[in-house]
Amino acid sequence: MNIVIANAGAQRGFLLLTEGEDLYLEGEAFALTEEVSVLQHVPVLKIMDISQLIINYVLRSAETVVINDATSEKNFANDDYIIRNNPKSIFCMPLTYQNRISGILYLENNIAIGAFTPERLRMLEMLTGEIVISIENAKLYRNLQDYNRTLEEKVIIRTEEISQKNEQLNLQKEELGETLKNLRQSQFQLLQSEKMASLGQLVAGIAHEINNPVTFISAGVDSLKTNIDEVRQVLDLYHKITPDNAAGQLEEIKKLKEKLDYDQTLPEVVNLLEIIKTGTERTTEIIKGLRSFSRMDEDILKVADIHENLNTALILLRNKYKDRIIIEKQYQDIPQIECYPGQLNQVFMNILTNAIDSIQDKGRVTIRTSKSNQMVQITISDTGAGIPEEIRPKIFEPFFTTKAVGQGTGLGLSISHGIIEKHLGSINVNSVVGKGSEFVISLPIKQPH
């Protein structure tokens, strides 16, 4: 909601979600305070500070409504809310999924007329696409959790009954246990097939990372234009030299050079070109990292450079750790390995994100690589809070998380564990509370064919 508010230029926003035939307020955000309230589950008819007429129109027509000045809009001029509050700009969009409305995004700006420009509308269309996917995934995960919990409760009850019956019932118990095992395996495969919304969580940071070099380039180009203009002035005077006016022209050129501080201009041009080159290389590096992380080659074995995968994850995560966490790379000379590079990118992203999040203030993350026999080993250690011994056996279980509600699904390490097993490798963790954690990944250099 904060990202939507910031990109749309809205003062406040509401996220309404459908449940059955009804519509409920589930999230609201305010630009001035940056506060977001979620999961209120308030029926839309009980919300007083929103246009019910516009909401009903969008819900019925499935069309987006953009109002530049609500007080002069004829179609909704009789709306009680508009008459009472005199709002300015209003934006209301249906959130559709598989040809059905799953929710509505409602934004207002009561200061500016025409706040929701075409450029902002295009940005909102991209963001709402991500919103719909995230909401539907969240519903899927929630339903899977509820179903899994209900099934486990049934297994416990059924097990107690089976223990009191004969051998035939014991056989039924084993069959039910096998059914539960198969269900969990199917559930895990479903979760693994869903690409995690890592990029969605990193959008703001990556945008900031790209904006910095682009700003350097823009500023450098402006300064370079000024310097080139000064050089052009001097060259113009040189071009006007003739045998008859040479002395006078050279004196005028000398004065112009002193006025423009010409001796400093050419070195400054070279320096500005270096700045522009550096900014361009940084932008290219970030875009290359995005392309590498999001490539769709999960089911194709390829030969890949593990160091390149690790560096890709660090590039995309830079905004989360820069200026507070030291990244120490202890890379040894290791061979390229046969793997699914896109999936390993996901593993490294998950583990590095957890390592960075575990460090509250300043700290260090160390990445070591080595080769032993026909295996490559990657060790990622941090100086964070550490993992208590009593929960350490659970960290690879689906949906288990120590993060606050809304900050993690509990799927990252579970999916990572499955990906490493798919590569016929292993992943282990060592941790000391208060000193940090260490994840050790072993991967074979060659995969069986």
Instruction: Name the token pair of 209.
Output: 């990372």
Distance, CA of 254 to CA of 241 (rounded, Å): 13
Tell the residue number behind the tokens 């902002």, with chain if given: 120
pLDDT value of position 405: 47
Q: How confident is residue 331, by pLDDT bands cut at 50, 70 and 90?
A: very high
Pairing assessment for the beta strands 363-372 and 35-43 based on DSSP bridges:
unpaired
Pairwise pLDDT comparison (335 vs 5), residue with the higher score: 335
Percent of the chain with pLDDT over 90: 23
- At 229, the amino acid letter reads D
Question: What is the per-residue pLDDT across 336-389, written as a single tens digit (0 to 9) for each?
Answer: 999 988 788 888 988 998 899 899 889 999 999 999 989 999 999 999 999 888
Question: What is the per-residue pLDDT across 258-306, written as a single tens digit (0 to 9) for each?
Answer: 777 777 777 777 777 777 777 676 666 666 656 655 554 456 788 989 9
Pairing assessment for the beta strands 100-109 and 325-330 based on DSSP bridges:
unpaired
pLDDT value of position 207: 58
pLDDT value of position 184: 65
Distance, CA of 303 to CA of 295 (rounded, Å): 15
pLDDT value of position 209: 59
pLDDT value of position 78: 84
Model's pTM, two decimal places? Answer: 0.43
Q: Looking at domain 2-116, does it have CATH number 1.10.3720.10?
A: no
Residue 299: Cβ within 10 Å count: 9
pLDDT at 141 over 90: no
pLDDT at 151 over 60: yes
Question: What is the per-residue pLDDT across 203-242, written as a single tens digit (0 to 9) for each?
Answer: 555 555 566 666 666 766 777 787 778 778 878 888 888 8
Instruction: Name the token pair of 311.
Output: 């560096």
In this prediction, residues 111-122 reach a mean pLDDT of 88
Q: What ranges do the domains of the chain cover?
A: 2-116, 139-193, 198-294, 318-444
Instruction: Tell me the sheet residues that pair with 28.
Output: 14, 37
pLDDT value of position 288: 64
For all residues of the chain together, what is the average pLDDT?
Answer: 81
Render 262-297 in DSSP notation, one character per residue. Answer: HHHHHHHHHHHHHHHHHHHHHHHHHHHHHHHHH---
Q: In Å, how far from its chain's centre is CA 271?
A: 34
Lowest mean pLDDT among 35-39, 53-57, 114-118: 35-39
Domains 2-116 and 318-444 in one fold: no
Distance, CA of 102 to CA of 99 (rounded, Å): 9
Residues 6+ apart with CB under 8 A from 108: 10, 11, 12, 13, 87, 88, 89, 90, 91
Tell the residue number behind the tokens 């080139």, with chain if given: 228
pLDDT value of position 338: 93
Instruction: Tell me the sheet residues that pair with 337.
Output: 304
Q: How confident is residue 194, by pLDDT bands cut at 50, 70 and 90?
A: very low
Percent of the chain with pLDDT over 70: 84
pLDDT at 69 over 60: yes
Q: Looking at domain 318-444, does it have CATH number 3.30.565.10?
A: yes
pLDDT value of position 367: 96
